[in-house]
């Protein structure tokens, strides 16, 4: 029996070899995926009785806790005027799991919207700045002024890693000039310069004119001052800012015309800005984007800046990019989500992985807000890694 079985086995092998031999396309080795990439949904439309979640904000506390904030558009989609609450979730395990939803601000049928987060690394204080729109007030209906039927600005803060939050503080008079109608902080994330200055990117709207600028504080948020406008002839709005190794600031702005990101730079801490230029690499569908320092030559082997946006002429193809020269060129790009996507916010975790909180969906753009965590190896497909500064 054994000899008969062996003969049949040899016959079977001979017959199978031509059919089982891999074809030319199958014979090529499949490249091994390098680096870390993991993703979790944080805010999902319909959950907690909220029709739509929008405008992601993400910060990393001094303790390494991730804090995710966004607009909770309670009854219907859409910008103000609308019923919009400010909500938050926390993660203490690098974004793998998230706490239950917590409402930080609820103004009834009015809106607290388009927020911007900021961590003071020297004190550990976590700040969130938000637009307050009374009932019936939106971008098209807002009037000039510092109160009443106009855009106002509130701040809340936490000194215990986001566990509890202060009462709202009206900072309108420090964030806005009386002739301005509207405009938002960020949205996304602010930053702290190496000299301790807190920077909140912002934009203003007056009489059909919009311009990006910053507000800043040199006393840990007790008082704020309005910086200069980026010279753009009134065609920029939502922006994000990063500090370069030489102490200058890079302002990356959404345009109200064209499909290229607008760029301006400051060498005096945001008091004045250069003429605005367009970056031909950073294609956009006129949508908010995110920008973050990743590494710098003061603490690491080289300068690296991260940028993320829907890199297309429509809101899809969420892509993260990497610059080694202060945002002049972007030689590295990696797709995060091919489908519908829009607003985003970048942060850096203590283990030097990066986090991206962004709007995405399968059919619609605003189905959920997801958190993606990845490392430099993943972004560069194994061609770069962070080295400690000797």
Concatenate the DSSP letters of all residues of 345-363 into one string. Answer: EEEE-TTS-EEEEEEE-SS
Closest CA to 242 of 184, 354, 326: 326
Query: 106-117: b or e for each residue (b if 16 or more CB lie within 10 Å)?
Result: ebeebbbbbbbb
343, 356 Cβ separation under 8 angstroms: no
Q: Give how far the C-alpha of residue 133 lies from the chain's centroid of Cα atoms, to the nearest Å.
A: 23
CB-based contacts of 145, cutoff 8 Å, min separation 6: 178
Q: Which of left, alpha, beta for 201 (phi over 0: left; psi -120 to 50: alpha)?
A: beta
> How many degrees, rounded to 5, is the angle at CA 73 between CA 52 and CA 365?
30
Closest CA to 187 of 135, 276, 253, 270: 253
The residues pairing with 369 across neighbouring beta strands, listed in sequence order, are 43, 359
Rg over CA atoms, the chain: 24
Q: Mind telling me the catalytic residues?
A: 75, 238, 343
Closest CA to 373 of 88, 94, 65: 94
116, 128 Cβ separation under 8 angstroms: yes
> How many degrees, rounded to 5, is the angle at CA 343 between CA 79 and CA 93?
115
d(CA 64, CA 87): 20
């Amino acid at each position: 029996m054994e000899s008969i079985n062996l003969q049949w086995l040899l016959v079977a092998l001979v017959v199978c070899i031509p059919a089982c031999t891999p074809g030319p396309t199958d014979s090529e080795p499949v490249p091994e995926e390098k680096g870390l990439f993991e993703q979790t949904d944080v805010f999902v439309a319909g959950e907690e009785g909220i029709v739509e979640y929008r405008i992601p904000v993400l910060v990393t506390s001094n303790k390494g806790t991730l804090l995710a904030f966004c607009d909770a558009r309670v009854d219907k989609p859409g910008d103000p005027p609308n019923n919009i609450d400010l909500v938050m979730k926390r993660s203490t395990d690098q974004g793998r799991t998230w706490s239950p939803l917590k409402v930080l601000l609820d103004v009834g049928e009015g809106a607290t919207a388009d927020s911007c987060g900021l961590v003071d690394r020297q004190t550990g204080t976590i700040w969130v700045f938000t637009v307050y729109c009374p009932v019936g007030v939106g971008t098209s209906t807002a009037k000039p002024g510092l109160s009443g039927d106009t855009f106002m600005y509130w701040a809340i803060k936490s000194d215990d890693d986001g566990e509890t939050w202060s009462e709202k503080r009206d900072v309108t008079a420090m964030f806005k000039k009386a002739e301005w109608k509207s405009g938002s902080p960020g949205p996304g994330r602010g930053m702290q310069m190496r000299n301790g200055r807190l920077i909140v990117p912002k934009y203003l709207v007056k009489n059909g004119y919009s311009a990006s600028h910053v507000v800043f504080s040199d006393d840990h948020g007790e008082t704020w001052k309005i910086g200069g406008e980026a010279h753009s002839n009134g065609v920029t709005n939502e922006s994000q800012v990063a500090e370069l190794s030489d102490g200058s600031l890079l302002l990356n702005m959404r345009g109200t015309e064209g499909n290229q990101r607008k760029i301006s730079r400051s060498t005096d801490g945001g008091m004045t800005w250069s003429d605005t230029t367009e970056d031909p690499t950073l294609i956009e569908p006129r949508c908010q984007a995110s920008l973050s320092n990743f590494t710098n030559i003061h603490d690491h082997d080289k300068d690296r800046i991260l940028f993320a946006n829907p890199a297309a002429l429509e809101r899809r193809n969420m892509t993260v990019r990497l610059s080694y020269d202060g945002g002049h060129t972007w030689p590295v790009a990696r797709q995060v989500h091919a489908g519908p996507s829009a607003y985003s916010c970048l942060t850096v975790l203590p283990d030097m992985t990066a986090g991206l909180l962004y709007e995405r969906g399968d059919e619609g753009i605003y189905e959920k807000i997801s958190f993606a965590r990845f490392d430099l190896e993943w972004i560069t497909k194994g061609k770069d890694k962070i080295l400690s500064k000797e």
